[in-house]
Amino acid sequence: MLRLEKNRKVAAVLALSGVITPVAGLHKFYLGQPVWGVVYLLLSWTPIPRVASAIEACWYLIQDSEQFDQNFNLSANSANWPSTPDVSLIADALRQLDQLRLEGLISEYEFEQKRRRLLDKIT
């Protein structure tokens, strides 16, 4: 499967387009979150996805590239991982990810996506 690295500026522009145009959620599809993209599309007749898109656009621009990569380009950071998977590193990453989920900083869907990517590194 071809995985292209996501660009935070492109994500921010797509999120801002959801504020201006009647169709919101394109940035979610771009970032590999199709379920959230569909939710945004279904709620396009309300102001909720426009407000959320504006907030997310600001969030993408405020993050530095490293934070954005950690959130959306986990596979791009494979250089940070040892060539043979170190289970303790992956376990620590899973614990940190779970803490983010418990604190409400990432959604259940985002948690599950990232958890699966981490577990795929073990196999």
Domain boundaries, the chain: 1-74, 81-123
Phi, psi of 121 (to 5 degrees): -70, -25
Is the pLDDT at 13 greater than 90? The verdict is yes
* Environment class of 5 (CB within 10 Å of its CB; exposed 0-12, middle 13-18, buried 19+): exposed
pTM for this prediction: 0.58
Interval 72-92 mean pLDDT: 63
Q: Where are the alpha helices (DSSP H) in 63-86?
A: 65-72
Interval 98-119 mean pLDDT: 87
Q: Return the residue matching tokens 């660009």.
A: 7
pLDDT, greater one: 107 or 81: 107
Is the pLDDT at 32 greater than 60? The verdict is yes
pLDDT bin (cut points 50, 70, 90) of residue 38 is very high
